[in-house]
Each structure stands twice: as C-alpha cells, then as structure tokens.
A = this chain, B = another copy of it.
Amino acid sequence: MTTIQPRTLKTRARLIEAATDIVAESSFTELRVEEVVRRAGVAKGTFFAHFKDKDALLDRMIGQIIDQHLDQISGQDTPKTIDEILDTLTPLMRFMGSERTVFDVILRYSGAASVEEIGPIAATFERFIHVLADWFVDGPFRQDADPATLAEGVQAFVFQALALNFCALNNHRPVRDRLRPYLELWLNPAKTLDPQG
C-alpha cells in the first residue's frame, strides 16, 4: 500500500513556494529547476520525485493563475456585446501573452493528455469553454450553433490572436483589436451581403 508521508506535502509545498518566489522576482522564462531546489533546500532528484518534469510544475503554477482569472470572469455580469466580451477576456489574454514561455506551455497543455491525468491547464480550459458557452445560450449572439462549438471557436481565435502577437511583424497591434474582427464574424447573426471589398 502506498501511504503518503506528511513530509511529502511539506517538501512539495517548499518547492512550489520557491518556484513562486522566483517567478515573482523574475519570470517564468528565468525559472531554473536548479534554483528551485537550491532555495527549497533539497536535492535535484527530489524535484523530479514530486513533478514528472519541469513542465508539470509550470502546468500547475500557470493553471492556478488561469483559474483565478476564470473566477474573476465568471463573477462578472454576462457580457452582451463583442466589446464586453473583449473587456472581460483581456486580463486573461494579457497573462497568456505575457511571456512566450507561458504561452508555449498553455498551448501544449490546453488539451488533456489523457483521461486519467488531465492536467491543471487542461482542466481550466474545460472550464473556460463552459464559461463561454454559458454566454452564448440565449444571448444576443448567433443562435444557429451549439454554444460549446461557438466557445471552442472563440478559444481558437484567442490563441490565433495571441500567436500573431508574438510576431515582430504584427505586435504593434493590441491583441484585443486583432481578436475583434474574428469574434464579430463568428458570433454575430450574419449580416446580409454587405457591399464591401
């Protein structure tokens, strides 16, 4: 039988605290496993006894932050316009795009790796889809589509807008402005043949 000793939790907490401190002082990009274990006062091997790899730690830390953003988002009034949606999503998007490292980890783990071990980030994105889908049920947005599918589409566009933001070619434009045209076409009841080039 696999009993977990109290010290396990203590060590893990120390590792997470050390990592959190490092990120607060510098960034996710600068995070080094060796620095984490140095601060936590444990050997390197101990880290990997607690986390499958470095990404598992990042998954957990980033997942927690996204979850806090979702708390914020779902605590607000249901947005009724594209602009309100953009307002609501902006803080989360700002975090997702704050570092290339963060965005990369989110991209890789936003889908669940397997049924049994769905990671923190994957879990938050399931939640994200639910929160969005709720907005689209009986909302002022198009009603000819499954709300969950609409929500997945919004997620795709959020990723697209953020990805473009990391290109020097494009990053003069705020993410928000890049996302809007997609959402207008995706969420609005279709306009009838606008005469436009």
Contact = CB atoms under 8 A, between A and B. Distances in A.
A182 B156 contact: yes
A108 B112 CA distance: 20
A158 to B, nearest CB: 9
Main secondary structure of the interface of A (DSSP, over half): loop
Nearest to A117: B168
B155 A160 contact: yes
A88 interface: no
Given A153-B157, A164-B111, A189-B190, A169 B104 contact: no
Interface string A134-171: 00000000111110011011011101100110111110
8 contacts: A104-B108, A107-B163, A112-B170, A114-B168, A149-B181, A153-B160, A153-B186, A156-B157
Contact of A168 (B112, B157, B167, B168): B112
B111 A144 contact: no
Contacts of A122: 167
A24 interface: no
Nearest to A160: B156
Given A149-B181, A193-B143, A168 B104 contact: no
